[in-house]
Structure 1
Amino acid sequence: MNRQNTQSCLPTPLGKFQVPEYPHIKPGVIDQQLQFSLIIPTYKESKNIRYVVLRLAQILDEFIPGDYELIVVDDDSPDRTWEVALSLIEEYPQLQVMRRQHERGLSTAVIRGWQVAKGNILGVIDGDLQHPPHVLKQLLSEVHQGADLAVASRHIEGGGVSSWSFIRRFLSRGAQLLGLIILPKVLGRVSDPMSGYFIVRRHCLAGVNLDPVGYKILLEVIGRSKIDKIAEVGYVFCERHEGESKVTWKQYIDYIHHLVLLRLSTGRFKKVSQSFPISRFIRFGLVGLSGVFIDMVILYLLSDPTTLGWPLTRSKIIASEIAILNNFLWNDAWTFADVSMQQQEIHQRLKRFLKFNIICLAGLVLNVLFLNLVFNFIISNRYIANLIAIVIATIWNFWVNLKLSWRVTQVK
């Protein structure tokens, strides 16, 4: 029985990680080309795979009946996930299974699935029920309307995470921030570059030599492929009900390795589909100037001998915090008003203020660092060096707050 099951599996492609230009069609068989191929990479998901296939089939049978396929690519799971999936084929004829015995890794599993797929649109979804299947209809609709890539995002309206701990949120945001620093014109194209739930047109990937590392296949797709228009759809990342999480520290190491590899190998970055938000940046700068004025006034009132005469350090800390609060309130009500209007509850404002405060303090450290670097190694004029450092810190504060502070990251 096991031998028969193994023989029923799709053969695993070998060689380069390159998606063919035309769908994989058996010789002599016509009308095999499909609209959509969805890859479900799995490892130890035997308790989840049956319901995942059921839900996906229900949704796609309604939306594009008979014009899709589901391909489970299993990394030879010890719980025999591949065998459970094979047992479902008779009930779900659109299902196929690949059992990989000599390769490991989510990203490579996805590409191997795409290599044997028949669809003109290719997609990926987790096999652990953390990606809600019904979002597929919205993703496909975006591609039907002209998008080359449609990404399910946790960080736009309608998106969020269900019950992440503070540590997990911090690590996720930190990883995204690191990516924005190393690959700004790749990660900057989408609000959720860490997403593992998306669909893409085949021709955008065809013939491209992919070199995936770790789990973040979307980075590889955006960084190397020929993608013009990108659309995003909000979704809520759910907690798994069965099985165990695959998140380990090795994944973070692989992520950094992948970022560096992409940075070194792509040579140049892809064109950003949206221009730098100049008008928003100008508003941010004007708010910053008001903060400088308030900082100076408060510092004078607290520390000058003719007023309260408090110690300078204590006065400066208080003045800085009042200035930061002023800047936050104006940015929340003016610079990023379109986002903050969607998140008006007290706890949401407090979270944004905490993020803004931390980022501004990091900007202060950056300001001091660049002031010393410019003054000691480039320009010996302290005032010009300070101006350059202020500009760099302002750009930092604006860009990081744009990407991290004013985002929809939690829903009820």
Structure 2
Amino acid sequence: MVVLSLIIPTYNERKNITPLIARATFVLKKFTDSFEIIVVDDDSPDGTWRVAQDLTKENHHLRVIRRIDEKGLATAVMSGWREAKGEILGVMDGDLQHPPENLLDLVNLIIHTDADVVVASRHVGKGGVSDWSLIRRFLSWTGALLATLMLPGILRTVRDPMSGYFLIRRAVIDSVNLKPKGYKILLEVLARGKYKTVVEVPYIFEERKEGGSKLGSRQYLEFLIHLSKLGKETGQIGRFLRFCTVGFSGVFVNEGTLKFFTEVIGLYYIYSSVLAVEIAIVSNFIFNEFWTFRDRSSLQSAMVDRLIRLFKFNIICAIGGVLNVAILWGLTDLAGFYYLISNLVGIGVSTLWNYGINSNITWEVPVKHIEHELGKAEIKEELDIRDRLSAEHKK
């Protein structure tokens, strides 16, 4: 019985594949001999598949799949998973930017805990990137932000949804119709998979030493298309439109309440405005609670849970209001925009804020998220293994 299947999608990684397989094999043998490493190569012009195939003569854990008529990282991973025999499925890049030594922590956690998904993360603990440019950091941050807005709940589930280095239990994707596109397979798993507990482990994303990056404008476009498709098919775009509809209805509640307290009750209009804002917020909360986020609120329907959500909603929307006013002032007084245009921008930004934060915090997805901190002994073991393998490779 195979316990673990590690999928490594490759394209033009001839210079990296040999040390990568050696390091990954060495680490996995520390846990079990019942594992397989499956290299899925998209018919690399540099013959990566041929080098990997030669390695199978001495490494019985290694299998190679050469794809002729299909390309793409996400679909390569899917091809590997279809052929995999393990109950635990893993993914890592073939360019050594994902240090194989981190498999120590990933495998240890998924074997010895109840975690369904274990992610190597750049955004928890001492994780990070080695030497990224400001532009690349911005693109990575923007991608994570878009994922948070388009797929609410992801931020509460995992801090690094763009990671390409992770392990899952086979049950997470059993009977799930995955439709990956581009190179972000973890997003697909998180959006459609069946899981209860996610653990993140910090790691340092290393710079490529051999070969060239595969990321370009085409890959970023594929990511946006994939994200939009996921948002539509998982119902999140519809949820956002419902949220906006509720917000629009709140305008009429606010105006009507303001008029009532000012002209009928006779309150000073500023006092009426404060009451009108709060009543509109409560009205919006009720509609969102029983319509927009009904599927989530029904999981925690006790009165105390609803009151806690109302409190969170109030605070988040209040911050959104401050954000709206700040943008109105900044664009009008500092940038010279017409105040109504500035206000529209402020409304747009505050709407995204209200939806994104409320989706991830007020009506959070009931998934257990754990950030695993590496101990000194774990870090030392990883470094010792890396130094030993590096010395052997140089020989």
1:215 correspondence with 2:183 = yes
| Cα pair distance change 1:47/1:267, threshold 3 Å | same
Residue 257 of structure 1: aligned partner:
225
Residues 149-177 of structure 1: CA distance to partner in whole angstroms, max 9, x if unpaired? 11111000020000000010111111111
Q: Secondary structure at the match of 2:6?
A: strand
Q: Are the aligned partners of 2:148 and 2:356 in contact in 1 as well (CA < 8 Å)?
A: no
In the alignment, the residues of structure 2 paired with residue 371 and residue 287 of structure 1 have an alpha-carbon distance, to the nearest angstrom, of 12
In the alignment, the residues of structure 1 paired with residue 340 and residue 180 of structure 2 have an alpha-carbon distance, to the nearest angstrom, of 35
In the alignment, the residues of structure 2 paired with residue 393 and residue 223 of structure 1 have an alpha-carbon distance, to the nearest angstrom, of 20
After superposition, the CA RMSD in angstroms is: 4.0
Q: Are the aligned partners of 2:38 and 2:80 in contact in 1 as well (CA < 8 Å)?
A: yes
In the alignment, the residues of structure 1 paired with residue 122 and residue 89 of structure 2 have an alpha-carbon distance, to the nearest angstrom, of 21
Residue 140 of structure 2: aligned partner:
172
Amino acid at match of 2:24: L
Residue 369 of structure 1: aligned partner:
344
In the alignment, the residues of structure 2 paired with residue 136 and residue 266 of structure 1 have an alpha-carbon distance, to the nearest angstrom, of 31
In the alignment, the residues of structure 2 paired with residue 73 and residue 40 of structure 1 have an alpha-carbon distance, to the nearest angstrom, of 6
Residue 6 of structure 1: aligned partner:
none
Q: Secondary structure at the match of 1:69?
A: strand
Amino acid at match of 1:202: R
1:117 correspondence with 2:84 = yes
1:229 correspondence with 2:197 = yes
1:141 correspondence with 2:116 = no
In the alignment, the residues of structure 2 paired with residue 237 and residue 191 of structure 1 have an alpha-carbon distance, to the nearest angstrom, of 15
1:129 correspondence with 2:96 = yes
Instruction: Return the offset for 1:73.
Output: 0.5
Q: Secondary structure at the match of 1:39?
A: strand
In the alignment, the residues of structure 2 paired with residue 90 and residue 367 of structure 1 have an alpha-carbon distance, to the nearest angstrom, of 66
In the alignment, the residues of structure 2 paired with residue 236 and residue 225 of structure 1 have an alpha-carbon distance, to the nearest angstrom, of 26
Structure 2 residues not aligned, in runs of 5+: 240-294, 362-370, 372-395
Q: Secondary structure at the match of 2:3?
A: strand
Q: Are the aligned partners of 1:366 and 1:393 in contact in 2 as well (CA < 8 Å)?
A: no
| Cα pair distance change 1:138/1:280, threshold 3 Å | farther
Amino acid at match of 1:235: Y
Instruction: Return the offset for 1:88.
Output: 0.7
Instruction: Return the offset for 1:92.
Output: 1.2
Instruction: Return the offset for 1:394.
Output: 6.5
| Cα pair distance change 1:248/1:286, threshold 3 Å | closer
Residue 168 of structure 2: aligned partner:
200
Residue 323 of structure 1: aligned partner:
none
In the alignment, the residues of structure 2 paired with residue 104 and residue 119 of structure 1 have an alpha-carbon distance, to the nearest angstrom, of 24
Instruction: Return the offset for 1:366.
Output: 10
In the alignment, the residues of structure 2 paired with residue 241 and residue 281 of structure 1 have an alpha-carbon distance, to the nearest angstrom, of 47
Amino acid at match of 2:64: V
| Cα pair distance change 1:60/1:264, threshold 3 Å | same
Q: Secondary structure at the match of 2:100?
A: coil
| Cα pair distance change 1:393/1:225, threshold 3 Å | closer
In the alignment, the residues of structure 2 paired with residue 202 and residue 366 of structure 1 have an alpha-carbon distance, to the nearest angstrom, of 51
1:245 equivalent among 213, 223, 227: 213
In the alignment, the residues of structure 2 paired with residue 62 and residue 49 of structure 1 have an alpha-carbon distance, to the nearest angstrom, of 20
1:152 correspondence with 2:120 = yes
| Cα pair distance change 1:160/1:399, threshold 3 Å | farther
Amino acid at match of 2:344: L
Structural mapping, 1:304-319, within 5 Å:
none
Q: TM-score, normalized by length of structure 2? A: 0.64
Q: Are the aligned partners of 2:323 and 2:346 in contact in 1 as well (CA < 8 Å)?
A: no
Instruction: Return the offset for 1:188.
Output: 4.5
Residue 58 of structure 2: aligned partner:
91
| Cα pair distance change 1:162/1:281, threshold 3 Å | farther
| Cα pair distance change 1:253/1:107, threshold 3 Å | same
Residue 330 of structure 1: aligned partner:
none
Structure 1 residues not aligned, in runs of 5+: 1-32, 296-311, 318-363, 374-388, 408-412
Amino acid at match of 1:131: H
Residue 367 of structure 2: aligned partner:
none
In the alignment, the residues of structure 2 paired with residue 45 and residue 166 of structure 1 have an alpha-carbon distance, to the nearest angstrom, of 26
Q: Are the aligned partners of 2:10 and 2:40 in contact in 1 as well (CA < 8 Å)?
A: yes
Instruction: Return the offset for 1:281.
Output: 8.7
Number of residues of Structure 1 aligned to a counterpart in Structure 2:
292
| Cα pair distance change 1:393/1:197, threshold 3 Å | closer
Amino acid at match of 1:88: L
Residue 288 of structure 2: aligned partner:
none
Q: Secondary structure at the match of 1:368?
A: helix
In the alignment, the residues of structure 2 paired with residue 367 and residue 188 of structure 1 have an alpha-carbon distance, to the nearest angstrom, of 31
Residues 363-388 of structure 1: CA distance to partner in whole angstroms, max 9, x if unpaired? x9998227778xxxxxxxxxxxxxxx
Amino acid at match of 1:201: R
1:107 correspondence with 2:82 = no
Determine what percentage of the aligned residue pairs are the same residue.
Answer: 44
Residue 54 of structure 1: aligned partner:
22
Residue 69 of structure 1: aligned partner:
36
Amino acid at match of 1:129: L
Residues 99-138 of structure 1: CA distance to partner in whole angstroms, max 9, x if unpaired? 0111110001101111111100000010100001111121
Q: Are the aligned partners of 1:180 and 1:188 in contact in 2 as well (CA < 8 Å)?
A: no
Q: TM-score, normalized by length of structure 1? A: 0.62
Instruction: Return the offset for 1:206.
Output: 1.2
Residue 153 of structure 2: aligned partner:
185
In the alignment, the residues of structure 1 paired with residue 342 and residue 107 of structure 2 have an alpha-carbon distance, to the nearest angstrom, of 45
Amino acid at match of 1:266: T
In the alignment, the residues of structure 2 paired with residue 365 and residue 122 of structure 1 have an alpha-carbon distance, to the nearest angstrom, of 53
In the alignment, the residues of structure 2 paired with residue 109 and residue 291 of structure 1 have an alpha-carbon distance, to the nearest angstrom, of 43
